[in-house]
Amino acid sequence: MEILAVPTEVCTLHPENTLGKIYLDWMPQPGDYIDLEGKNYRILERRHRYQFRRGKYNLFRVVVYVQPAPENLDRSLIDGRWIIGDENCRYNAISELIRCAVNPNGPCAGCRFWEVR
């Protein structure tokens, strides 16, 4: 299935505010990161808006709710998805949302619990 550029509205939850409208050629997922006007945001939630035309529903727009991501976020790309922290650490959660159990706020550099996986 080919994904065309989907109009995407980027909003914050608290306070509810529209940050902008962009076109994405990929389908955003919760936990993904998005760059908008030089600032990084983490996607918390995605909602679809459909329009009924010619007897069927068509994807009209995607609305993503985001929160600002920290500037010093260390990420690694594993199997096509971004995870937080150092993937070589034994305690890394291999997750887009949480770094690890022993030091969830990070950073990984200089952590006293760091061990080779």
Q: What is the pTM of this model?
A: 0.65
Q: CA angle, 34 as apex, 33 and 38 as ends, to 5°?
A: 125
Domain ranges of the chain: 6-68, 72-117
The predicted-structure confidence for 73-104, as pLDDT tens digits, reads as follows 677 778 777 788 888 888 888 887 788 888 88
Q: Nearest-CA neighbor of 97 among 69, 63, 65, 62?
A: 69
Cβ atoms within 10 Å, residue 29: 11
Per-residue pLDDT at 99: 84
